Amino acid sequence: MSKKTLIIISLVVIASFVLAACGAPKAECTDPLGCVTVAKGEPIHLAYAMVISGPDATLGTDSRNGIEIAIADKGGKLLGHDIKFDGEDDQCSAEGGQAAGTKLAADPSIVAVFGTSCSSAARVAMPLWSKAGFTVVSASNTAPDLTLAGNENNHPGYLRTAHSDVVQGAAAAQFAWEKLGVKKAATIHDGSIYADSLQQVFADEFKKLGGEITAQESVSPDQTDMSGVLTSIAAGAPELIYHPIFIQAGTQLILQGRQTPGLENTYQMGADGMFSPDVMEGSGDAVEGVFVSSPDFTQFGPDYEAKFKPAYKAQFGSDPVSIFHAHAYDAFNLIYACVEKVAQGDKEGGEILIGRQALRDCMYATKDFKGLTGNLTCTPTGDCADPKIAVYEYHVGQYPPEKVWP
């Protein structure tokens, strides 16, 4: 190191000490993960990583809209600072998660990340963000392993306001067993983590209730000809087929299932991935009587209908386009409350320090938080949802589908 650099560095250090001394009561960072320092007049940086392009774009933009409404509700300010809200596309894939993860992890000004939209992206991005010290809240990840204690995919700093599929799969099994009185069921997944874990939870729960699983089959997400898989499922004569997959292959199963000998009167059931007007369009008359599980909108707090939905319509010109907007709204408010609580320094708009570990601790300690989706209490592994799953039944020409359970 040359003499000149040394002099410059020491000057800068001295200058910063002097400047710091001029400020209001100066807090010191004692946080084991370091702090984010937000100087006076600077914005607090919150980022998102959601799918905002491609076939699943409605999922991500819907959640992002939820957060934007939440920010607007707070007047765009947090502790007197502006909120800077920007982000990356997670593309609903591992590759997109890697790209978005790397990009955001390199930005030390970020306090918290909202995302990812898809579990497959979270698995890849989460190690990077966890290491960078971020607190991450997802509004739509539902894969069980992300919050499973001891699982390699459960990272410190991760929380979610969406329900774990353990809840959704189990609810589907209970619905089939109790409401429909089904004794034999088959499952179909499409190789995605989402569908595979859902059908496994369903199968385990259904067996526990005393039912029999006749087959656990699999199709590919863009498959058209389902005759082979349906005929081999028909061999077990199940009374219900649980296919928690996505719209393209799902509608083909609905169409062809009705025509396969032995399955004409078999119940069909999907999960929240098939809660969409596209299902109605894709399967025509065959959609009659198909069940889907999804978060129960009718159990949301009164503010959902009275305030949130009108605000959404006013700001984005339509009703919510997917199902996790309210979860995203809550995710933002959880972070908001905790930043307010743990920030040190001048809370009237002056310089503040946000301890990264302190923020995480605060988030995990969340108890009985009154949100749109219910009363949120976070577990030590990051499950904050107050899951209320309902089952809906499709009827021809009627959207949204009719709630039939519970």
Partner 1 sequence: MFKRWRQRVTFTDIVVWAIGIAIGFAVVYGTIVTWRRAEYTPEQWINLTIDGLKVGGIYALIALGYTLVYGILRMINFAHSEVFMSGPFTAVFLAMYLDKIGFYNAQPLISLILVTLLSTAVSITVALLLERIAYRRLRYAPRLVPLITAIGASFFLQYTFRGMYGNDPETYPTLDVLQGVWMLGPVPVPKTDLVVIASAFFLMLILYTIVQKTKTGKAMRSVSEDKEAAALMGINVDKIIVFTFGMGGASAGIAGILYALIFSQVHFYMGFIPGLKAFTAAVLGGIGNVVGAWLGGTLLGLIESLGPNLFLSGLGIPAANQLKDGIAFAILVFILIFRPTGLLGERISKTKA
| Residues making contact with partner 1 (CB under 8 A) | 191, 216-220, 222-225, 227-229, 231-232, 234-235, 248, 251-252, 255-256, 259-262, 278, 281-286
Residues ≥6 apart with Cβ < 8 Å to 56: 92, 117, 118
| Identity of the residue, 231 or 377, whose beta carbon is nearer to partner 1 in the bound complex | 231
Residue 126: in which H helix or E strand, if any?
Answer: helix 119-132
User: SS3 string of 228-252?
Assistant: HHHHHHHCCCCCEEECCCCHHHHHH
* Backbone torsions φ then ψ of 300, nearest 5 degrees: -65, 160
Cα separation, 323 vs 56, in Å, equals 12
* Smallest separation, CB 247 to partner 1 (Å): 9
Residue 118 CB, shortest distance to partner 1, in Å, is 20
* 204 or 346: CB nearest partner 1: 204
Q: Residue 312: helix, strand or coil by DSSP?
A: helix
Is the CB of residue 327 less than 8 Å from the CB of residue 304? no
Closest CB to partner 1 among 283 and 293?
Answer: 283
Q: How many other C-beta atoms lie within 10 A of the C-beta of residue 222?
A: 10
CB of 187 to partner 1, least distance (A): 10
| Least separation in angstroms between CB 218 and partner 1 | 4
Cβ within 8 Å of residue 11, ≥6 positions away: none
Shortest Cβ 196–partner 1 spacing (Å): 10
Q: Which is nearer to partner 1, 37 or 231 (CB)?
A: 231
Report the alpha-carbon angle 220-221-227, nearest 5: 55
Dist. CA 250–CA 260, nearest whole Å: 15
Cβ proximity to partner 1: between 102 and 218 the closer is: 218
- Closest distance between partner 1 and the C-beta of residue 81, in Å? 42
Give me the half-sphere count of Cα atoms (radius 13 Å) on the Cβ side of residue 403: 11
**Identity of the residue, 270 or 345, whose beta carbon is nearer to partner 1 in the bound complex:** 270
Distance of closest approach, residue 145 Cβ to partner 1, in angstroms: 20
What distance in Å separates the CA atoms of residue 398 and residue 288, rounded to the nearest whole number? Answer: 10
For partner 1, the closer of residues 41 and 277 by Cβ is 277
